[in-house]
């Protein structure tokens, strides 16, 4: 038996092949091959969107029947053989629809078919766009995300920080998964050649997803489940979020209607309302969403970067969310940011058309109505300078233990010499090193650098040794020296400690940095409990102590800007009795860090 599936969209066509066993019944196994055309004869029932508490048992909507239109010559056996998992289930259809004669059906009348009895027929969805760290887990394998990549039932989509992915379904509906989210594709069901007649089930494990569901026939379902609730929708725009830590569920309806159900209680959300509740609670009274911000005063054409967009504050707003997309066929998302004030700074946008959408959050965490600002970036065309080196080492924002190393950068085309600058502050007004003209692309510092934070950049020089544009500066830190603890001594009821840090390099202003030290003493070798945790200014410390036992001591250098360096290896000492009243120290030695 061959069951054809066809679609007028850009997706592939398929044939699902079912083989018969010796009894003439369909086997459950199947596979798919491309096909040119075909048609279904049944229409699945699309219900009004609702959200209900997710229980271990199947949700109520999953058992609601699909309507099938009787074709001339149909019998219940033929219908069951063609559409159900088992042809023997024709008896269940007869009982459900109270049909007297299964062989004489009235053409073009309708019968109900439980979805649970029907053969699963899979449809695809695709990645429309993605940004940042996004992965798709299929069969326990992680796959690189590409535009137009097919997504199938069972796939899991994970977004990292500052990442997003937009999915497009065959019926034109879209789901945009936001940062730090996880979404599983549970079901993509296409029982008809009409691409509006679909059943889509997604499971949001954490994070948030923005959905735009195309208006469909009364026989389609778009379902999102979470560990707290279930959402089923038709022809609407809504947001769903789930926080697995707080078990907080939220949904906001921007267009259409939503029914929210939990613990046997339901509320109807109309357009412009939302609800927030925790798992196991009944839904609260719907809350009116905050109004959309006013963005009409923002610039429509930008000719330089960066730019600040400021807009009037919304009353009772706790924070705002800004989403930036390209104004193109797929509206590719390139930025999503939560801000506390009604002002956003945009940088590094290329020339082109963009859409900025903004909404406010209330004290329940419900997102409000969305405002859109369409704008264009028209930057003056510039020719990149070929005399622009790229910094290699040290990498930006790295911490180095060694204070002798070489700086390096890439050579620039048609350039023979460079200018190198090293400073202790970002404006390069207090230069530690300023060398030019310099012909090599690496530079070893002969003087040892003292600990602290540094800034460096490189510029190419022209033929007249004139400085061209500097690279963007990089920062790095030299970690303060690790102290070396000497053996502890015990005299007169007091413990005396001492440590060394070696030679201290001279700073840029010819003044050696004066360090402080973090001293820690514990009776646990993992320092899970402190007997002493203090800051001292000298490299010696003395304190009274009478109790016998084993103790662990370690110390770290505190840089002049407050940065705490690496802890020394712990020194273990044993304090034992000596005579009747006396005490002495046995220095066991240093232990691993």
Question: If DSSP states are collapsed to H, E and C, what string results for 229-290?
Answer: CEEEECCCEEEEEEECCCCEEEEEEEECCEEEEECCEEEEECCCEEEEEECCCCCCCCEECC
User: How much is the pLDDT for 217?
Assistant: 60
Instruction: List, in sequence order, every residue forming a beta bridge with 558; answer none if it has no partner.
Output: 516, 564
User: How much is the pLDDT for 22?
Assistant: 30
Residue 62: phi, psi to the nearest 5? -65, -20
pLDDT digits (tens, 9 = 90+) for 83-127: 888 889 999 999 999 999 999 999 988 898 887 888 765 556 889
Q: Which two tokens stand for residue 67?
A: 């309507």
Neighbours of 121 (CB within 10 A): 18
User: How much is the pLDDT for 232?
Assistant: 67
Average pLDDT, the chain: 80
Angstrom CA distances, 520 to 47, 488, 527, stand at: 66, 14, 8
User: How much is the pLDDT for 8?
Assistant: 28
Residue with structure tokens 């906001």? 252
How far is the C-alpha of 53 from the C-alpha of 57, rounded, in Å?
11
Q: Which helix (H) or strand (E) holds 95?
A: helix 90-97
User: How much is the pLDDT for 199?
Assistant: 78
User: How much is the pLDDT for 398?
Assistant: 92
Which parts of the chain have pLDDT scores under 50?
A: 1-63, 192-193, 196, 507-510, 593
How far is the C-alpha of 282 from the C-alpha of 51, rounded, in Å?
12
Count of alpha carbons within 13 angstroms of residue 85, beta-carbon side: 9
User: How much is the pLDDT for 474?
Assistant: 95
Residue with structure tokens 């998992």? 85
User: How much is the pLDDT for 581?
Assistant: 65
pLDDT digits (tens, 9 = 90+) for 443-493: 988 777 888 899 999 999 888 888 888 899 999 999 999 999 988 888 878
How many residues are there in the chain? 593
- Domains along the sequence of the chain with CATH: 125-288 (2.60.120.1440), 301-377 (2.60.40.10), 391-478 (2.60.40.10), 484-590 (2.60.40.10)
User: How much is the pLDDT for 380?
Assistant: 84
């Amino acid at each position: 038996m061959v069951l054809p599936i066809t679609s007028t969209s850009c997706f592939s066509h398929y044939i699902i092949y079912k083989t018969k066993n010796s009894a003439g019944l369909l086997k459950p196994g199947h596979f798919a091959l491309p096909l040119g055309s075909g048609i279904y004869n049944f229409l699945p029932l699309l219900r009004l969107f609702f959200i209900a508490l997710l229980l271990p048992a199947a949700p109520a909507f999953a058992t609601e029947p699909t309507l099938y239109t009787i074709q001339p010559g149909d019998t219940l056996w033929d219908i069951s053989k063609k559409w159900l998992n088992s042809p023997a289930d024709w008896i269940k259809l007869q009982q459900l629809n109270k049909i007297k004669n299964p062989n004489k059906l009235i053409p073009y009348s309708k019968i109900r078919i439980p979805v649970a009895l029907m053969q699963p027929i899979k449809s695809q969805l695709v990645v429309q766009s993605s940004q940042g760290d996004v992965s798709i887990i299929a069969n326990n394998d992680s796959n690189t995300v590409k535009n137009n990549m097919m997504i199938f039932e069972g796939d899991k989509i994970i977004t990292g920080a500052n990442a997003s992915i937009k999915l497009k379904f065959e019926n034109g509906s879209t789901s945009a998964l936001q940062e730090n989210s996880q979404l599983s594709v549970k079901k993509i069901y296409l029982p008809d050649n009409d691409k509006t007649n679909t059943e889509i089930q997604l499971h949001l494990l954490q994070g948030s997803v923005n959905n735009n569901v195309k208006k469909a026939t009364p026989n389609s379902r778009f379902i999102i489940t979470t560990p707290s609730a279930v959402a089923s929708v038709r022809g609407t725009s809504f947001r769903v979020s789930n926080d697995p830590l707080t078990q907080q569920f939220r949904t906001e309806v921007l267009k259409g209607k939503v029914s929210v159900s939990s613990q046997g209680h339901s509320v109807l959300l109309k357009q412009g309302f939302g609800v927030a509740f925790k798992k196991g609670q009944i839904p609260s009274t719907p809350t009116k969403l905050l109004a959309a911000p006013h963005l009409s005063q923002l610039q429509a054409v930008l000719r330089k970067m960066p730019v600040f967009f400021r807009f009037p504050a919304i009353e009772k707003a706790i924070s705002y969310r800004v989403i930036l997309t390209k104004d193109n066929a797929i509206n590719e998302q390139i930025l999503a940011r939560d801000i506390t004030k009604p002002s956003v700074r945009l940088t590094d946008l290329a020339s082109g058309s963009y859409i900025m959408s903004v909404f406010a959050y209330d004290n329940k965490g419900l997102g409000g109505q969305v405002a859109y600002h369409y704008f264009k970036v028209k930057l003056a065309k510039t020719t990149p300078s070929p005399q622009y080196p790229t910094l290699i080492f040290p990498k930006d924002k790295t911490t180095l233990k060694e204070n002798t190393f070489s700086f390096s950068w890439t050579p620039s085309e048609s350039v023979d010499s460079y200018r190198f600058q090293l400073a202790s502050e970002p404006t390069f007004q207090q230069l530690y090193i300023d060398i030019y003209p310099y012909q090599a692309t690496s530079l070893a510092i002969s003087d040892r650098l003292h600990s602290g934070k540094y800034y460096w950049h490189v510029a190419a020089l022209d033929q007249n040794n004139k400085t061209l544009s500097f690279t963007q500066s990089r920062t790095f830190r030299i970690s303060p020296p690790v102290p070396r603890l000497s053996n502890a001594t015990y005299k007169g009821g007091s413990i005396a400690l001492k440590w060394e840090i070696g030679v201290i390099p001279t700073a840029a202003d010819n003044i050696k940095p004066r360090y402080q030290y973090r001293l820690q003493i514990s009776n646990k070798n993992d320092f899970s409990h402190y007997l002493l945790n203090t800051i001292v200014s000298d490299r010696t410390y003395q304190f009274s102590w009478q109790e016998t036992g084993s103790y662990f001591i370690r110390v770290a250098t505190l840089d002049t800007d407050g940065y705490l360096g690496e802890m020394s290896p712990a020194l273990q000492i044993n304090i034992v009795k000596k005579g009747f009243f006396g005490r002495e120290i046995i220095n066991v030695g240093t232990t691993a860090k």
